[in-house]
Amino acid sequence: MLRTAMEGKGKAPWVVVSPGAQIHPQRLIMLKGYGGDFLRIVEYNQRWRLRWEGILRALASEGIKSIMIEGGGMVLSELLNPEYTEFIDSIIVTVAPTYLGSGGVGVSPDSKRDKQGKPNAALNPRDVKWMPLGQNVIMCGKIRTVPSASPEGPNDTNAG
């Protein structure tokens, strides 16, 4: 990603790290020089993983309103949990043959519950599109409706 920024073809990444992460000074200078940064997050969940709310709030406070999060099955499962869907406008998921079978990458967000406490589907994207790409398939879908911009200007409450 930094190479893309260095070539003038995109923005530099913001790299989220825990408080104890050791960052080489040259990397920090280079990343900041291209408009990126390291963002230290100190909020943890009960499993001692960084809290997504803290990450998204910190990025929003830096004026970042749209982000792309890359990650494996664990990251995807966490972000697709019902508690975070309010932050997600759309998803793009690559489904690869390695997802299949017991050794594959699992994606399993927690289920939502109905009024009687019975589990429902964790996520039901709208306007889903599937695109084959070699052995993989890309799935794109909308999660929440994004409020349209008001006549006074853009809606600044969109953190995700």
Q: What is the pLDDT of residue 157?
A: 37
- The arithmetic mean of pLDDT across residues 31-55, rounded, is 82
* Helical segments of the chain, H only: 2-6, 25-33, 52-61, 73-79
Residue type at 11? K
Going by C-alpha positions, the residue among 105, 58, 59, 113 that lies closest to residue 81 is 113
Is residue 120 within 8 Å of residue 112, measured between CB atoms?
Answer: yes
Q: What is the pLDDT of residue 129?
A: 96
pTM of the model: 0.63
| Domains with residue ranges and CATH for the chain | 1-67 (no CATH), 70-146 (3.40.430.10)
| Beta-sheet pairing, 112-113 with 119-120 | antiparallel
pLDDT at 149 over 60: no
In this prediction, residue 141 has a pLDDT band, given cuts at 50, 70 and 90, of very high
pLDDT at 130 over 90: yes
pLDDT at 151 over 60: no
In this prediction, residue 134 has a pLDDT band, given cuts at 50, 70 and 90, of very high
Straight-line distance from the first to the last Cα atom of the chain, in angstroms, rounded to the nearest whole number: 20
